[in-house]
Amino acid sequence: DREYNEKFQYASNCIMTSKYNIITFLPVNLFEQFQEVANTYFLFLLILQLIPQISSLSWFTTIVPLALVLSITAVKDATDDYFRHKSDNQVNNRQSQVLIRGSLQNEKWMNVRVGDIIKLENNQFVAADLLLLSSSEPHGLCYIETAELDGETNMKVRQSVSVTSELGDPNNLASFDGEVVCEPPNNKLDRFCGTLYWREKKYTLTNQNMLLRGCVLRNTEACYGLVIFAGPDTKLMQNSGRTKFKRTSIDRLMNTLVLWIFGFLVCMGVILAVGNAVWEREVGSLFQSYLPWDPPVDNFLFSAFLSFWSYVIILNTVVPISLYVSVEVIRLGHSYFINWDQQMFCSQCNTAAEARTTTLNEELGQVEYIFSDKTGTLTQNIMSFNKCSINGQTYGNYTNTQKLDFTPFNPLADPDFCFYDDTLLESVKVGDLHTHEFFRVLSLCHTVMSEEKSEGELVYKAQSPDEGALVTAARNFGFVFRSRTPGTITTTEMGQTVTYSLLAILDFNNIRKRMSVIVRSPEGRIRLYCKGADTVLLERLHPCNQELMNITSDHLNEYAADGLRTLALAYRDLSEDEWEAWSESHRCADKATDCREDRLAAAYEEIEQDMMLLGATAIEDKLQEGVPETIAILSLANIKIWVLTGDKQETAVNIGYSCKMLTDDMTEVFIISGHTVQSVRQELRSVFWSGHLLLHLSPCLSDMEGEFVSTACACKAVICCRVTPLQKAQVVELIKKHKKAVTLAVGDGANDVSMIKSAHIGVGISGQEGIQAVLASDYSFSQFRFLQRLLLVHGRWSYLRMCRFLCYFFYKNFAFTMVHFWFGFFCGFSAQIALDTGFWTIINHVFVWGSLGSYFTIMFALHSQTLFRIFPNQFHFVGSAQSTLLQPVVWLTIALATAICIVPVLAFRFLKLDLKPQLSDTVRKNKCAWRGVGSLSEGRLGARSGSRRSGYAFAHQEGFGELITSGKNMRLSSLALATFASKHSSSWIDTLRRKKHTHTHTPPSASGELLINTTVGIM
């Protein structure tokens, strides 16, 4: 009933990931861009240039580059938002069949409402988060693919609510009037808690009853679902939050440098303003007769104040307006270099390296710590059943290289399965009870889906490679899993088809680290089968298993020493009364509306006790190609590698030796495994600081962060065992917090996502565990060995190129700006520009494009593979935390370059004065010869001798008033202009020569004032 549900104002199913529309784009985008300090600063400069009293530059010299920068950014933002709009429209306009007033009607996804009943057909996407009501498959089952949600490509099964599973007809569904009470919208993909109230009864709803938006219906003809969450409330959209923006050390350094440069600009403006005040007081006041100040200016202090702002405008080029845009362009180029690198392309899986962000390339060259997952990252995550321990007997003989042929014994065997110990097969053939029960556990205790494409051709769809390997092993040894329904599991045991009643599934999670099923055999026997980590399962065994447990533990340690992944298997027989009592408590916990997860965990804990040990399995996960060599080379670059794994300690240590993290020269390996704060602190303090250490992560280490970090960082190798996904992220955060070092996390599974997001740089390995790690990463490729080239080649080059570009960029700006600063000392600090504004753009283009072209041509030649092979010693690794831009030699180079630019100018000017003096210089020299000591007029003449202002004006022959005071506070009055215009402009040199000739016979005291005016007119 849409009318009834609309009063609750549920969210619309229309999604909007875009940021702008046609009306809001311009104001919102400009507002966002002016959040940048640099853009706000140049807007402030533009406002200053509109004030004629202080501006000697045209306003377009600032507005053109500012508009260009804003336009480029706006175009980029608009392009990105256009594609977001396009994607939103494609999704919102998809069609769904909605049951409205008893009939199915096609509706766009954006028009779907909470409470609607939707019909889904095979291979259709789910439009919203649905409660599965009924399905065309038997027992209300349907199959979905969740690749868009969690990256896993294996099919998953969902089951409709039992009471509604028969409502498969639109007419029956139209009369459905149930009420659903559930948890608020959240981002937990594997959890849902709710209750269905219908016909005065209530029914518990779980995640197994839900079809989430983004899933695809597979191998199911049709199903019906009730919309629970729509649009932004769906779990897909709840998990689509924006990833935290990661800033690099270069970004922080640039912001710091820009602030220092701005301070330097203010200092230059103050120096020149003080110079203007001194000049106006000592010399400029003598110009008032024909160069009066503007009406607002009444003293030299106000003139200096205006001069300060004028120089802020003129010297603004020292603060680079195009710096951030240029840096982003360079980063984009570096990202393409990574994407195009053929040496990081995996031909086996047809996967190339991908830079999923453009802002972290140079940060790759500063990595100090690498945090790596083990399974699927260092190893291949292709599991094979290699060894097992059954009733105290170990199987799996590597000395026998002849592969067993299972076909004569079992026509349903997988031909790709490899095993090399025939004694286990003989034990199965003779009917050993413990061996049969061992493989029966493997064929029943799992969540694998089976698909039989033809008679005897089985394809298993497992949520993890471990489960797939174990079920395949049971299949080859005669216990074949065939199919499952919500209430049954069908197997073929030694050629006989057996159907078990599935009474309960006790799910696996990272906290429990085990999974159990309770089944009833055809004979009526109720038995619980359990498999899980040995650390949690062995402590739940019956005391009578002590001797067998000791033998099995020794076998587990042997398997772990070979680098194998281990699991323990156990069972427990239940009486009918025990089952009924526990079933009732489990049913109450399952129907609970509050603390449901805790109550279920308590119920599971109650039944999983006093079990009987069957044995253990050992699965091999081989190292990926090139892992030992990559770790060795990264270690040479002083990069510390930490392995964070959920495996047991022995397995992790063995993998450490296999991948060369641990070597034979590490004579001391320390294990920190206490369970109390005091014991862990004592173990940490007893560690011998030899530099060759290993730490085992303990749950208590979170209470002593400082001691853990200081000890671990002193180790040459660190392996954290038995860690949860949350603990992986916590370890990364500890190093970021205490060491202030650049961190990189690399993983391949959903359990690595939190670690990848926590690190400064996240790298995803596209492997067997889906693409969720790739979607959360900044860089992705298919094999761990490519990390070497990403860091030591692309990271190194990107960092050095960026630093050199920044040095050159700042040098270019300083060289251009210091010309105007130096020119201020020769124009009476009048805030005049040394170069015509037309040269400004030309100089920038020549400096930027010409030098960049030359630079990259040389860089590509120097970094070619041929030269690397000829001169390998010339290509040292940068190492970690070597900030090239902060080296003192950079600032020494800037100082020397400034001095080198100034000294030739000074030398040339002094040499020109001596060899070929100007007429004004001759007059000044003669006047100096006439001066007497202590005379007031002579003192004034001395102060005026440093002026170059009017000389500069007449040399350009543009009229001294208009050129000197263009946009400045000192302008000729209209009376002065009329007076000078009435004079004959071609006779001033003759007049000057006549006055000079007259002065050779006139005492200085009689013509002082005349000489002052004449000298000022020339100089």
660 is in an annotated binding site: no
Report whether 509 contacts 726 (CB < 8 A).
no
% helix, strand, coil for the chain, step of 5: 50, 20, 35
DSSP letter for 820, please.
H
User: Alpha-carbon Rg of the chain, whole angstroms?
Assistant: 41
| Alpha-carbon gap, residue 223 to 211, rounded angstroms | 10
Q: Decide if 633 contacts 789 (C-beta within 8 A).
A: no
**What SS3 class is residue 634?**
helix
State both tokens at 643.
């392995």
Q: Which amino acid is at 51?
A: I
Cα angle 806, 808, 812; round to 5: 115
What is 75-90 written as a DSSP string?
HHHHHHHHHHHHHHHH
Sign of CA dihedral 1001, 1007, 1008, 1012: negative
Query: Is 373 annotated as belonging to a binding site?
Result: yes
Would you say 374 is a known binding-site residue? yes
Q: Yes or no: say if 18 and 241 are a contact pair by the CB < 8 Å rule.
A: no
Distances (CA, A) of 716 to 55, 632, 835: 62, 12, 59
Residues in a beta bridge with 108? 95
Which element (helix H / strand E) includes 573?
strand 565-574
Name the residue among 953, 933, 949 with its Cα closest to residue 941.
933
C-alpha pair distances (Å), 979 with each of 406, 664, 971, 984, 996: 118, 98, 14, 11, 23
Q: Is 1 annotated as a binding residue?
A: no
Q: Which amino acid is present at 863?
A: H
Is 373 annotated in the active site?
yes
Does the annotation place 647 within a ligand binding site? yes
Annotated binding-site residue? 467: yes
- H runs (alpha helix) in 880-987: 888-915, 919-930, 936-944, 949-955, 960-964, 974-981
855 CB-near residues (< 8 Å, 6+ apart) = 804, 805, 808
**Quick count: other Cβ atoms within 10 Å of Cβ 783?**
22
Q: Is 591 annotated as a binding residue?
A: no
829/315 Cα distance (integer angstroms)? 13
Cα–Cα distance, 337 to 801 (Å, whole number): 13
Q: State the DSSP string of 239-268.
A: T-PPPPPPPPHHHHHHHHHHHHHHHHHHHH
Dihedral sign from CA coordinates of 514, 194, 450, 146: negative
How far apart (Å, rounded) are the C-alpha atoms in residues 910 and 316? 30
Tell me if 728 is assigned to a ligand binding site.
yes
531 is in an annotated binding site: yes
Interacting residues of 906 by C-beta distance below 8 A, sequence separation 6+ = none
How far lies 871's CA from each of 370, 855, 867, 875, 956, in Å?
29, 20, 6, 8, 57
Distance CA 87, CA 379 (A): 37
Q: Report how far residue 261's alpha carbon sits from residue 680's, in angstroms, rounded to the nearest whole number.
A: 50
Contact predicate 239/187, CB 8 Å: yes
Q: Which helix (H) or strand (E) holds 868?
A: helix 865-870
Residue 393's DSSP bridge partners are 390
- A 10 A CB-CB count for 399 gives 6
The answer to whether the annotation marks 646 as part of a ligand binding site is yes
Q: Is residue 924 marked as binding?
A: no
Residue 40 in marked binding region: no
| β-strand pairing of 640-644 with 367-372 | parallel
List the catalytic residue out of 116, 129, 150, 373: 373
Three-state SS for 432-445 is CHHHHHHHHHHHHC
Sign of the CA dihedral with 313 first, then 314, 318, and 320 last? positive
Rounded-to-integer distance, Cα 179 and Cα 778, Å: 44
Is 81 one of the annotated binding-site residues?
no
**Is 554 labelled as part of a ligand binding site?**
no
Q: Residues with catalytic annotation?
A: 373
Annotated binding site for ATP: 373-375, 467, 508, 531, 565, 645-647, 722, 728, 751-752
Annotated binding site for Mg(2+): 373, 375, 748, 752
Annotated binding site: 373-375, 467, 508, 531, 565, 645-647, 722, 728, 748, 751-752
